[in-house]
Amino acid sequence: MTGIDVVGPQLAVLAAAAVVLLIDALMPQQRRVLPYIALVGLVVSALWTTSWVARDDYKTWFDGTLALDQYSVFFYFLFAGITATVVLASIDWVNREGRGQGEYYALVLTTCSGLMFLSAARDLITIFLALELSSIPQYILAGWGKDQRSSEAGLKYLLLGAVASSLLLYGMALLYGVTGTTLLVDIAGSIQADGESHRAVLVLAMCLLIAGFGFKMAVVPFQMWVPDVYQGAPTPVAAFLSVGSKAAAFAVITRVFFEALGARFLSDDWSMIFAVLAAVSMTLGNVMAIVQTDIKRMLGYSSIAQAGTFMIGLAAISVSGHEFTLGASGVLLFVAAYAFTNLGAFVAVIAISQKIGSDQIKDYAGMWQRSPFLTVALAFCLVSLTGIPPTVGFWAKIYIFNAGIRADLAWLVIIGVLNSVISGYYYLSVARQMFLGESSDGAKIPTSPSIGMALGVATIGVLVFGIVPMPLISAAHNAVEIFAQH
Amino acid sequence: MLFLESVASPPSIGEEWLWAILCAPLFAWALIVLYGRKLGVVSGYLTILGVGVACAISFAVLFNVIDADGGIATHSHEWFSAGPLVVNLGVRIDGLTAIMLVVVTTVSLLVQVYSIGYMEGDPGYGRYFAHMALFTTSMLGLVLADNLFQLFIFWELVGLSSYLLIGFWYHKPSAAAAAKKAFIVTRIGDLGLLAAILLVWTRAGTFDIAAVQDWATSGDAKGYIVTLFALGIFAGAAGKSAQFPLHVWLPDAMEGPTPVSALIHAATMVAAGVYLVARFFPVFEASSDARDVVAWIGAITALIAATIAIVQTDFKRVLAYSTISQLGYMMLALGSFGYVAAIFHLFTHAFFKALLFLGSGSVNHSTNTFDMRKMGGLRKYMPITFWTFLIGSLSLAGIFPLAGFWSKDEILLDAWRHNHALWAVGATVAFMTAFYMFRAIFLTFYGEYKGGEPVDHHDEDSHFHGDPKHPHESSWVMTGPLILLSIPAIAAGWFAYHETFGNFINGALPAVREEGSSFEFGIAISSTLIALAGIGAAYAIYYRRWVTSESLRATFAPFALLFENKYYLDRLYEDFLVKTVLQRGWNALLQANDRYVVDGIVNATGRLGRELSTRLRVVQTGQVQSYGLAIGAGVIIIVVAVYAANPL
Amino acid sequence: MQLSLLIFIPAVAALVVMVLPQRYEQQAKWIALVASLAILGLSIQMFFAFDLDQGGFQFVVRREWVDIGSFNLQYFLGVDGLSMPLLVLTTFLTLASVLVSFSITMRPRAYFACLLLLSSSVIGVFCALDFLLFFLFWELELFPMFLLIAVWGSGRKEYSATKFVLYTIAGSAFMLVGILVLAFNQDTFDIEKLGQANFQGTLIPLTWVFLLLFIGFAVKLPIVPLHTWLPDAHSDAPTAVSVMLAGVLLKMGGYGIIRMCVTIMPKQADDYSIWFAVIGSVSVLYGAFITLRQTDVKRLIAYSSVSHMGLVLLGIGALGKVGLVGATYQMLAHGVITGLLFVMVGLMYERTHTREISRLGGLARQMPLITTGMVFAGFASLGLPALGGFIAEITVFLGTFQRYEWAVLMSIFGVVLSAGYVLWMLQRVVFGPVRHEWDDVSDQRHWWEHSVVVVLAALVVVLGVYPALMMDMIGPAVDSIMLRVGA
Amino acid sequence: MDGFGVTAAFWVLAALTLVSAGGVMASRNLLHAVLFLIVTFIGIAGFFVLLSADFIAMAQVIIYVGAIAVLVLFAVLLTPRAGRDNGETKMAAPAWLLAVCLAAVFIFVIQDTNWHVLSTSPDLSAFDLGEALLGTWVLPFEIASVLLTAALVGSIMLARTPQEEAEDALA
Amino acid sequence: MNVGIEHFLVVGAILFAMGLGVALSKRNAIGVLMGVELMLNAVNLTLITFSRFSVSDRPVSGQTFVVFVITVAAAEAAVALALAVSVYRNRDTVDVDRLDLLKS
């Protein structure tokens, strides 16, 4: 029973998925309710998670393959929220596309459960499966659209994903081979015992893991699929990809590297790797975003840059356990902030492009006249992405740069701040289009309630946590306390 | 010297009275500014009232100081302070101040009265009197100030009111330009004064005039510092008193209403420079270099201005240039230890020059022009004006026994004592002065009337009444002041003849040099003869026409050209220095730098980014395999890099 | 308590204005007016309640806000003699800019919301005592400003708005690094503590930190050659925004340099004071020379601002009491005077719809009152005695002369040049022959315009004739800084 | 592990696997490639037997050869007009270069490491495996089932023809 | 001469590399998929090798891993082929180098 209880949140989500499928199959007329069932499932799962927080009995289950700790709880909430927003944002699109609605929501929910497992897994096998559980439905969703671009995006995503996960697998295999176990804690122990002698193979495994997860995190040089897939995939799915899988990847990589590969002789190496990757990702992502004309592509590149910024947190490992967690909590904070912000941006894009049927930035001209609400919300999210108060993005930026400085990574932080200037440039140019451009037709853009709600949630989150960041920061901080013990 | 034994007691007059002098016109100004629209004509009387009160008190002060044998009294209060910087507001009276007060208030009063008539019906009537009141206030403040800081403040305010009054008829482009020119040129001089203030505060740590005098004379200040300070002071003075090379603004300043020219640009403000140098006379005593500079600049100014005055055809400009040259005279005197003489000349000059200007105004009022070639024979139409003007001219020319004679004579004496070359210049100038004044008189008041300037009724800005065809004497409000002013123009010299005046003025100084007698027959007779010669020459050329001016001009063509073009100084300044070098050259360069270099770099950075971005796009070929390659290559590179970074 | 109110009244008012229903949108201005009056009254009350004898920070508010291990941020407000006058200045100009915007009809709700947000953030900058809080407010001002220029501006408004934002972001990017390094070394963001700390073994050399912070502030000041955003922003911004920009936003730079660079890192400030003097005097002259070439009234005033703010840097460079007091006073004076100038130009622009000097002329006949205002403001800005600018300028000169005579001797030429451009502008714009183009314009005026002009003019005069009012407050604050500098 | 039989078996299997893999690489015809792939799978299964993982070997044969390969064949047949050709893209040369480098790195690492090896094979029966699957790793086991379902559902949706979609929309 | 762990690992490594080469060089999507399958098999081989040789208290975990890999591979293959088919429907081709609507 306790086992069931432990995986309750995921079960709730999956159950919702099953119900959705059944209703879709048995009573097609009732399709309108599907998304709301999905939402119910997500709410239940969130409540379930809350009950843990209330009970406060954190431990690991299934012989240590699944961890039930503040860390996973943090991400459970996050993923539930993300998925809910995505579901809300999808409704209009799915109704219009009219292709297997039940299946769509079911897959979204499945992905969500996969993400949850991913954030809680403490065992290589479980991680691998959870990763696939969150990826394969996403491959499908990316190809869900009927047009060529969508299926092309799906296929590209899948092929590259397969290659990347093979690399990941090989890395895991090596890790297993050296340590003789797949449990992260035992791996850590065995490395502590006689890791030094196996440094070569460990480094190789480490790099392969970085490649595998880096693909999901979308950091240079594993990022190149991002713009294509974002542009081709249905916008709600792109939103899901841009926050869901990225967040999960960061969740898992943080856990794996801090728990299993935390040994000094490794962490010195990988913190440097992360630092370099961070610098490259930020710069490349931002520079390439400058000339983009398609807003989804632009957001894709910007998400690469953002990933680079998260990585400062991963790179920010210094000696004392305290600062150690500072970097990790920076990652979590940034992930959450980014989730709110980017979702908001994507939802706004969904609403707009549904109406004007284009993702070209130049077609956003004069939005300010056509839909003040959407314009302001989108502009707001862009401001948050730039890291200007009063938005949550500001806090994330400050916090993670602070971590970087304290980890003696001044050079990286300087690169970071310069990049925030570049990003300011292209985010502003979008805002400029919307506020100043002259729109060809002044037709108002209505906002459907679901979209409005999704957007509202995201923007409120951005604003509220921008003004009272304390809860979010402390949550992130407590979540990573578990690493302090190692 | 008699008064040195008798200890000079500080004047007993109460401080509040001194402040009252300052405040009376100030209130008039404030009232007009606040209620100017409603007041209408009353504003004029208001100003007269204010200035009158000030005038009355000033005389009281004068006598009080005389009773006190030219003692000194200062009252000082802290205004604001920031650490070591302590700035006071205070008043100081002594002989010098008292004389200046009297001069300023008296002339001002008479000019205001005159203005009632002159400005009658002008749309800016109220504004005019407001400015006048403001000017009087600031001039009095300048005179009363007991420290350099405060003095500088009123110094600038004087400049402001001068600007406003020159540009009074702002719709005339020439007036607007002249006003701007006056302010800027004087401000250039003020730079020196400002620098001097900075210097003295950092070196002496005080602004107080007495303290500064002590500091300069005590000798614990380095010689060159004192010289620099003195030169700074003189630069300021040169600006206000229109000394070469900063004299160019004064002739243009005649664009203002004539009473303004009389009050500000003849009698009082332009004398402020002389006053300033006199104020710090001990400093100049302490530095002979500075003194020589003053003397020679004065001499040059006097000469240049006189030469230009000879060829002017504009009635007022003749007077303007003569003013410049007389100011040069005063400077010359100061430079040659003629402290008393300078003040004395300032005193007399104030009266007869004001008289002359008001006379010219009266002429203009009936002929609607200042061009002497359009006048002539006015003697019979406007007798009062003629006679008073004649008195003024004689006095200026320095004919015994008029006021000008005594003061000019004393200056020449000091010059002779100090340096014969200076005396020679002075004498030449004296000759020219007599010459051009009587040239003006003969052209204006003798011969046949040439009809003046016909009235242009389309110009809504002209407020000329009457008919230039038939000139007439002006009304009593205008002639009255003329008559009143001619009295000091005649008599002002006498009571200065014996030494009381000198002692009295000297009382303002911390220490007094031995001075010889202030009169020598040799100098007196020679200068009189020179003046008479000048008059005679004018009589020969412009009345009898034994020699025609044309032929003379032809003979001395190059000189005439030089004079008529004012030595090309205006061209040099405006066309060459300002327009060409500064605007078209230097500033254009800087602006180009701003636009193309500074902004250029910024925009170039942006373009570079876009360029880079477009270049990088080609990497994104859309080929899955290339993406896969990137992944694989990434792994290998990272692994190898790590192994290389810290080998196994 | 009062400080929190000062910050939150405008912020809340902004929210209220934003949610105002469509049909009441013309009422937005009244709400804005009430809010700005409220903060003005409050700040004046504080100004007189400020205890001159007891130095240090007053009206302190201190709350833990974010406190996570090594990332602890307090909501820590307070004012001393340095910030109090600037605070009053801000509230005054807020009122002024609200009043001059009374005739705004395009999207008034958003407009006034942005304006109030702007003023709230500037107030925050001036009274924040936690470095991170300071930074927050510093950045908070960006987006409203961007919108105000970009939406309600004129001309190449997009370009100018973007330029403004990018310059500021770039500057504050450097600043952020500096802040974090300092905070890391002392393990606190508390400005008061940092102000007494002595730093050893900072992550990057303290000199670099100093330069990072300095660049951040200097962009705002602005100094040559980081100034080119200013003329563009000014010439394209609406009047009220120009008033705020020139009046208070530039002052944030000077305030930052004094409060952060000089107070926290006096040693470095001492080493680099010569560069302050150089840059300051160069800015003075460079700005003034270029001003002489301007043909657009607003650009002209903008460049003159560059020149005048150079004096602030010069005064700081003296690192002496007189110099710092002068610098602060110059900030106040320039704030009011330039504000007034922009108001006058704005009023003129509303009537003639041009700012091209070559097209204007002879307006004195049509609009005597506006002319009077312009002449007054013009003379104030060229440093006429008995008006605010003079006291400030001469105090700066006196304060700096001891240390850097050459710099001052260079800078005083700015005095002549300023006379040059101001009078030239007046001559060309308001004087000269009447142009029949402008026969029908007149300065029949609304009470609000009238009151703005009167209030600001009065302020200019007060600053000019009663300097003790401010100096007695600034002096003690500067003293404490001087203790730190050890001069 | 030694003994001639084993050694011989290893080399034979290695040759078989790698050569057939090379066949997959080389063959221009997709169908041939599939056949080579199947041979490779079988070779791998042989290795499994050699490594005394009999159950896995069986699973390998059943699933890969039985399922996946067939799946691939279906795909080939379902896309007739795409042609049977299995040529390389422009990216071929760099791809091979990359492969070689990767192999080099791997082999280097493998050789460099001194593996702690067991002398005797741990005898693992299918029973142990089952126990592990339903014990420790029951969670991944369940996840796998969900995963398969999801994949199934999704694939069906993607593979449906427009007509099916249309009538589905009507319903 | 006897075969040790390295031999098996080397075979796995080579196979993996070949798989990658195939995956990155083939034009036909299905060819690419085969490459991926090869890589997975290589991984499986490696895992089994380790579970046979390496010192561990749960040698069975290696085999378990393989079971899951096989399962996932199957699922992946299924989805891949479905996608390939849907692409084919849109474009009449499964050549990945002609799938470049989305780029730069």
Of D105, D143, D155, the CB nearest to A117: D143
Sequence-ordered alpha helix ranges (H) in B419-508: 420-445, 476-491, 500-506
Q: How far is CA B604 from the centre of its chain?
A: 52
Checking DSSP bridges between strand B73-82 and strand B85-93, what pairing results, if any? antiparallel
Of E43, E59, E99, the CB nearest to A169: E43
Q: State the nearest Cα–Cα gap between D15 and chain A, in angstroms.
A: 22
Task: Determine the residue of chain E that is closest to B618 in CA distance.
Answer: E104
Q: CB under 8 Å to C385, separation ≥6 — which residues?
A: B152, B153, B154, B156, B157, C464
Structural contact between residues C94 and C455, judged by C-beta atoms closer than 8 angstroms: no
pLDDT at D114 over 90: no
Query: Helix-strand-coil percent breakdown of chain D, rounded to 5?
Result: 80, 0, 20
- Reading the block at residue B377, the tokens are 């024979």
SS (H, E, C) C366-427: HCHHHHHHHHHHHHHHCCCCCCHHHHHHHHHHHHHHCCCHHHHHHHCHHHHHHHHHHHHHHH
- Nearest alpha-carbon partner for A384 in A325, A459, A282: A459
**How confident is the model at residue D120, as a pLDDT?**
79
Find residue B73's DSSP bridge partners: B93
A-chain CB neighbours of E19 within 8 Å are: 166
Q: What is the pLDDT of residues B348-394, one digit of tens each?
A: 888 888 899 888 888 888 888 888 888 878 888 888 888 999 999 98
- Reading the block at residue A478, the tokens are 């407590």
Q: What angle do CA E40, E41, E45 make, to 5 degrees?
A: 120
Q: What is the pLDDT of residues B507-539, one digit of tens each?
A: 777 766 656 666 778 888 888 888 888 888 888
Q: CB under 8 Å to C43, separation ≥6 — which residues?
A: C6, C87, C88, C90, C91
Within the 180-199 window of chain B, which residues sit less than 8 Å (CB to CB) from chain C? 180, 183-184, 187-188, 190-191, 194-195, 197-199
Q: State the nearest Cα–Cα gap between E101 and chain B, in angstroms.
A: 7
Do D and E touch, 3+ Cβ pairs within 8 Å? The answer is yes
Q: State the nearest Cα–Cα gap between D99 and chain B, in angstroms.
A: 8
Q: What is the pLDDT of residues B168-210, one digit of tens each?
A: 888 888 888 899 999 999 999 999 999 999 999 998 888 999 8
Q: State the nearest Cα–Cα gap between C139 and chain A, in angstroms.
A: 6
Contact D106 A204 (CB under 8 A): yes
Query: Helix-strand-coil percent breakdown of chain A, rounded to 5?
Result: 85, 0, 15
CA distance A408 to A402: 10
**How confident is the model at residue B503, as a pLDDT?**
74
Find the mean pLDDT for residues A232-255: 93
Do D and C touch, 3+ Cβ pairs within 8 Å? The answer is no
CA distance C27 to A280: 51
Task: Give the C-alpha distances (Å, rounded to integers) separating B125 from A102, B32, B163, B170.
Answer: 90, 11, 17, 14
Task: Determine the residue of chain D that is closest to E47 in CA distance.
Answer: D48
B-chain CB neighbours of E20 within 8 Å are: 628, 632
pLDDT at C401 over 70: yes
- Reading the block at residue B302, the tokens are 């006097």
Within the 350-369 window of chain C, which residues sit less than 8 Å (CB to CB) from chain A? none
Within the 280-319 window of chain A, which residues sit less than 8 Å (CB to CB) from chain B? 284, 287-291
Interface test with A, best of C12, C64, C71 (most A CBs within 10 A): C71
HSE toward the beta carbon, residue A22, CA cutoff 13 A: 7
Task: Give the C-alpha distances (Å, rounded to integers) separating B216 from B92, B227, B230, B286, D88.
Answer: 19, 9, 9, 7, 98
- Residue of C473 and B581 predicted with greater confidence: C473
**How confident is the model at residue B6, as a pLDDT?**
46
Sequence-ordered alpha helix ranges (H) in C190-296: 191-196, 206-220, 229-236, 239-244, 250-256, 263-264, 266-291
Of D91, D101, D105, the CB nearest to B625: D91
- Reading the block at residue A214, the tokens are 């880096």
- Residue of A434 and B39 predicted with greater confidence: A434
Which residue in the block uniquely carries the two structure tokens 């843990």?
A: A52
Q: State the nearest Cα–Cα gap between E41 and chain A, in angstroms.
A: 10
Contact B634 A225 (CB under 8 A): no
Of A325, A388, A414, the CB nearest to C139: A388
A-chain CB neighbours of D153 within 8 Å are: 21, 103, 106-107
ipTM > 0.85?
yes
Find the mean pLDDT for residues A270-298: 92
Within the 21-80 window of chain E, which residues sit less than 8 Å (CB to CB) from chain D? 21-22, 24-28, 30-31, 33-35, 37-38, 41, 44-45, 48-49, 51-55, 58-61, 63-64, 66-68, 70-79
Q: State the nearest Cα–Cα gap between B579 and chain E, in angstroms.
A: 55
B-chain CB neighbours of E96 within 8 Å are: 623-625
Contact A182 E61 (CB under 8 A): yes
Structural contact between residues A135 and A268, judged by C-beta atoms closer than 8 angstroms: no
| C130: amino acid identity, one letter | D
Confirm or reject contact between C397 and chain B (CB < 8 A): yes
Task: Determine the residue of chain D that is closest to E22 in CA distance.
Answer: D25
Residue C107: CB atoms within 10 A of its CB come to 17
Task: Determine the residue of chain E that is closest to B615 in CA distance.
Answer: E104
Q: What is the pLDDT of residues C30-77, one digit of tens each?
A: 999 999 999 999 999 999 999 888 878 999 999 888 877 777 888 999
**How confident is the model at residue B488, as a pLDDT?**
86
Task: Determine the residue of chain B that is closest to E101 in CA distance.
Answer: B622
Structural contact between residues C165 and C145, judged by C-beta atoms closer than 8 angstroms: yes
pLDDT at C209 over 90: yes
Do A and E touch, 3+ Cβ pairs within 8 Å? The answer is yes
Q: State the nearest Cα–Cα gap between A31 and chain B, in angstroms.
A: 37
Checking DSSP bridges between strand A66-68 and strand A59-61, what pairing results, if any? antiparallel
Of E3, E64, E79, the CB nearest to D133: E64
Confirm or reject contact between E59 and chain A (CB < 8 A): yes
Percent of chain B with pLDDT over 90: 24
Contact E13 D107 (CB under 8 A): yes
CA distance E66 to E56: 16
Structural contact between residues A196 and A265, judged by C-beta atoms closer than 8 angstroms: yes
Q: What angle do CA D28, D34, D35 make, to 5 degrees?
A: 100
Interface test with E, best of D13, D19, D39, D44 (most E CBs within 10 A): D44
Q: State the nearest Cα–Cα gap between E44 and chain D, in angstroms.
A: 9
Of B619, B634, B642, the CB nearest to A222: B634
Residue B521: CB atoms within 10 A of its CB come to 7
pLDDT at C105 over 90: no
- Terminal CA-CA length for chain E: 55
Find residue E95's DSSP bridge partners: E28
Task: Determine the residue of chain A that is closest to D107 in CA distance.
Answer: A201
CA distance B609 to A426: 11
- Reading the block at residue C74, the tokens are 């307090």
Would you place residue B499 in the very low, low, confident or very high pLDDT band (cuts 50, 70, 90)? low
User: Which positions in chain B have a beta carbon within 8 angstroms of at least one beta carbon in chain D?
Assistant: 623, 625-626, 628-629, 632-633, 635-636, 639-640, 648
CA distance C352 to B488: 54
pLDDT at A57 over 80: no
Would you place residue B4 in the very low, low, confident or very high pLDDT band (cuts 50, 70, 90)? very low
Find residue C71's DSSP bridge partners: C68
CA distance B301 to B307: 10
Would you place residue A113 in the very low, low, confident or very high pLDDT band (cuts 50, 70, 90)? very high
- Reading the block at residue C214, the tokens are 């300095």
Q: What angle do CA B143, B145, B149 make, to 5 degrees?
A: 125
A-chain CB neighbours of C147 within 8 Å are: 435
Find the mean pLDDT for residues B555-579: 81
- Residue of A115 and B461 predicted with greater confidence: A115
**Helix (H) and strand (E) counts in chain B:** 29, 2
CA distance A239 to A108: 12
Contact C184 A431 (CB under 8 A): no
Q: What backbone phi and psi angles, to 5 degrees, belong to C109? A: -65, -55
The mean pLDDT of chain C is: 90
Find residue C199's DSSP bridge partners: none
Confirm or reject contact between E90 and chain A (CB < 8 A): yes
Contact D98 B625 (CB under 8 A): no
Q: State the nearest Cα–Cα gap between A90 and chain B, in angstroms.
A: 27
> How big is the A-E interface in CB pairs under 8 Å?
130
**How confident is the model at residue B2, as a pLDDT?**
40
- Residue of E93 and A284 predicted with greater confidence: A284
Percent of chain A with pLDDT over 70: 98
CA distance D129 to B530: 137
Would you place residue D149 in the very low, low, confident or very high pLDDT band (cuts 50, 70, 90)? very high
Find the mean pLDDT for residues A454-480: 90
Find the mean pLDDT for residues D39-48: 93
**How confident is the model at residue B52, as a pLDDT?**
93
Q: Is the four-CA dihedral B342, B344, B347, B351 of positive or negative sign?
A: negative
Contact B625 E20 (CB under 8 A): no
Task: Determine the residue of chain B that is closest to D92 in CA distance.
Answer: B625
Q: State the nearest Cα–Cα gap between E104 and chain B, in angstroms.
A: 5
